[in-house]
Amino acid sequence: MEPLSLTASAIASLIFSKALEKGGEQLGKGISDQIAQLYNLIRDKFHKEGVEGKFTKVQEDPSQKNKNRFERELAEQMEDDEAFSKKLKALMHELKSDEQIKHIFLRAIRLKVMLKSAT
């Protein structure tokens, strides 16, 4: 079982990916719908918990600092709400079957490793 922080990091990498913005039209409808579900599920959860500002801030300014804050909050929400966590993990499992999505994850992982080794 992968740690919640790793799942949160993968989710953040996916929904804030520049590659997804540019190549979104090329994704199949099923994948686009699943990404929209993922996005809406997180947005609704953050709103319900009163932390929607962290979601809004990372959308407006997707700096590494804001992405890290978002990831930490998402991991915390997943830890506190098992049903929410299961829904996110199920959607991520479905999305990981798409080659374009796998590519986005791999690029994000490489970038994180490079950033960590630079500090």
Task: Let me know: does 103 contact 27? Beta carbons within 8 Å.
Answer: no
Domain spans of the chain?
4-118
Helix (H) / strand (E) element for 74: namely helix 64-80
Task: Let me know: does 8 contact 79? Beta carbons within 8 Å.
Answer: no
Q: What are phi and psi of 90, to 5 degrees?
A: -65, -45
Q: What is the pLDDT along the chain (119 residues), one digit of tens a residue?
A: 456 677 788 888 777 775 455 444 555 566 678 888 999 999 999 999 999 999 999 989 988 899 889 999 999 999 999 999 999 999 988 888 777 777 776 676 666 666 667 76
Reported pTM: 0.76
Task: Let me know: does 74 contact 8? Beta carbons within 8 Å.
Answer: yes
